[in-house]
Structure 1
Amino acid sequence: MLPVCDHYSGVEARMVKSLQLQVDMTLEFGACVFDVTLDCEDGAPVGGELDHANMVAALAKSAQDTPDLIANGLRRRVGVRLHAVDHPAFLQDVECVVGGAAHALSYIMLPKVESAADVDVAVRAMDALGANAAAIPLHVLIESPAAVHRAFEIAGHPRVQSISFGLMDFVSSHGGAIPASAMGVRGAADAATLDQFHHPLVVRAKTEIASACHAFGKVPSHCVVTEFKDVSALARSARFASQALGYTRMWSIHPDQIRPIVQAFSPDRRAVDEAARILEAAAAAQWGPVSVGGVLHDRASYRFFWQQLERAHATGVALPDTVSAYFVSSSVLEVM
């Protein structure tokens, strides 16, 4: 299970601050609750792609040498977004970033993926750099109607771990047929504006990507909310993405967005306690069917409630003592 928040930084000073915030929150929660993606695509100035890639590689390598995290047995997660495979700087990015910092990278984000063939291009370039590079999973960004059409093909690629939706490029690729409002989030009292959660073509694309990911056991990652000063809009968006659209992860583009995203994607205390009660009863019954509160449960629902506990654990939510031991034991996974 990946962290529920993927935070993007493209400027060196903000990258450094994001990496420090990741340390602070990892120590606070006892788990790495958000990824930091260092951005070579939008972050690099035109003509300065090589210098930017070298800087990103250096930051990624230094990020893993954090005494406080090492002392607490915690490891951070850092990824890098490269240029698209058809960009002149792509192979240069691969050589500098993947070749120079493969051991420090949790994933590579590949933008503007149109088909599984694009993923193959990236895989060949990375695998040529050796075993460490060949072990890095790919997160891909789908940004066009044609790519949405091929979402299941892309999700089925064995190297793909997560798919993200590129809202801005998706809307702009329709040549004005989708209004600009579909790139934003309407107000809580607005029931008419076709925003990113209500325009039919945008919602269809989001659900197609989520469905493709779940079909192949991959992680669907929801797009950004650009109204980064509006915390209530972000909270509403994150809850809708997680509860209605099937997303288990979401992008952040400002540090103030990280905590609301983590909170929205975390199960609440009541859900955690319910899951714990049901799994305790199931374990006592040797994982046979049980009745809890007058409701029948069996292994199908046990898997659901186990996933609730997994998400709670991944987002730093305290687990009841009766089930916390499962996270240092394989006994549950063997029967799930």
Structure 2
Amino acid sequence: MRKSLQLQQEMTQEFGACVFDVTLDCEDGAPVGGEAEHAALVVELALGAAPDARVAVRVHPVDHPAFEADIATIAGRAGHRLVHVMLPKVERPEDVERAARALDAAGAKQLPLQGLVESPAAVHRAFDIAAHPRLQSLSFGLMDFVSAHGGAIPSAGMGVQGQFTHPLVVRAKLEIASACHAHGKVPSHGVVTEIRDQAAFRAAASRAANEFGYTRMWSIHPDQIRAIVEVFAPAADEIHKASQLLRAAEAAQWAPISFDGKLEDRASYRYYWQVLERAHQTGRQLPDEAREWFAARVPSPTERRQ
């Protein structure tokens, strides 16, 4: 956990922005019987993190005996330093609601929740789960999902290739991504366990971003972080086009324009504004006019429309 926070600061200095969150893990990180001590360590690390650090925590599931204590200790003492709380093994909207009430009781009403979908039943309820107003993002728990099928999905379904080809796994991924986009939430792709094969991992990240509709991705090893940031960031030519197109649209007071021989209107303006937002969030080099927009916090075309 300390190494992850240190790497976050190093990359923040390098990119000029904090390009990934560090999630301190209680569910798998705490030894059995040592949950309280681990929660205290998480509090210590969160409070001691750099002022610009983005720190989150994954607590135990709502049906675990340590859940309430996790929330009371961590959110109660360090909630102001967290960016979100990750809730594993979400099965239904009521799980999110229970966690939201626990956060409120701990004095952390400002904290959003992120959920981890890990079973066939949870996938079935993904749209209802994503609709909860406190939920910010949904992630896919691949290995638990495969295990929940009692051998009906072979172990290859957890691998770097099988998870993108087995029909049940593909269906689950698409269902979660679609549920998130339907309710304006962030779909976060799960882990890829192949930590030594960089080419395979980069290909998996590219498929998650470009074919499956995911806009974030988990890493389980520091060597994966740069690849994720690079793959999920827009390319330089796309950033340039977005900046030029939006400058022309702004000059036209956001009326429809012709750009490179094509009609562009507010639908495409929103898309290209999102390109610039992703570039800004991933520390990409922005043209001067785009940097000015973000410095001035100019409302996006979506906000203008509203």
Q: Give yes or no for TM over 0.5.
A: yes
Give the distance between the partners of 2:247 and 2:299, measured in 1 at CA. Answer: 11
Q: Which runs of 4+ in 1 moved over 4 A?
A: none
SS in 2 for 1:34: coil
Unaligned runs of 5+ in 1: 1-14, 187-194
Give the distance between the partners of 1:107 and 1:267, measured in 2 at CA. Answer: 25
Match of 2:54 in 1: 77
Match of 1:223 in 2: 190
Unaligned runs of 5+ in 2: none
**Pairing partner for 1:173 from 133, 148, 161:** 148
Give the distance between the partners of 2:190 and 2:299, measured in 1 at CA. Answer: 33
For residue 100 of structure 2, what is the amino acid of its counterpart?
V
Match of 1:191 in 2: none
Match of 1:55 in 2: 41
Match of 2:304 in 1: 335
Count of residues paired in the alignment: 303
SS in 2 for 1:108: strand
For residue 106 of structure 2, what is the amino acid of its counterpart?
L
For residue 335 of structure 1, what is the amino acid of its counterpart?
R
Q: TM-score normalized by structure 1?
A: 0.89
- Does structure 1 residue 143 correspond to structure 2 residue 84? no
Match of 1:313 in 2: 280
Give the distance between the partners of 1:204 and 1:29, measured in 2 at CA. Answer: 35
For residue 116 of structure 1, what is the amino acid of its counterpart?
P
How does 1:1-336 map onto structure 2 within 5 Å? 15-63=1-49, 66=50, 75-130=52-107, 133-186=108-161, 195-333=162-300, 334-336=303-305
**1:175-234 deviation line (CA, Å, top 9, x unaligned):** 100000000013xxxxxxxx0000011011001000000111100000100001111111
**1:4-32 deviation line (CA, Å, top 9, x unaligned):** xxxxxxxxxxx001001101101111111
For residue 56 of structure 1, what is the amino acid of its counterpart?
V
Displacement of 1:319 in angstroms is: 0.7
| Percent of pairs with identical residues | 62
For residue 91 of structure 1, what is the amino acid of its counterpart?
E
- Point out which structure has higher relative CO (alpha carbons under 8 A, 6+ apart): 1
For residue 114 of structure 1, what is the amino acid of its counterpart?
E
Displacement of 1:330 in angstroms is: 4.2
For residue 38 of structure 1, what is the amino acid of its counterpart?
L
Match of 1:8 in 2: none
For residue 276 of structure 1, what is the amino acid of its counterpart?
S
Q: TM-score normalized by structure 2?
A: 0.97
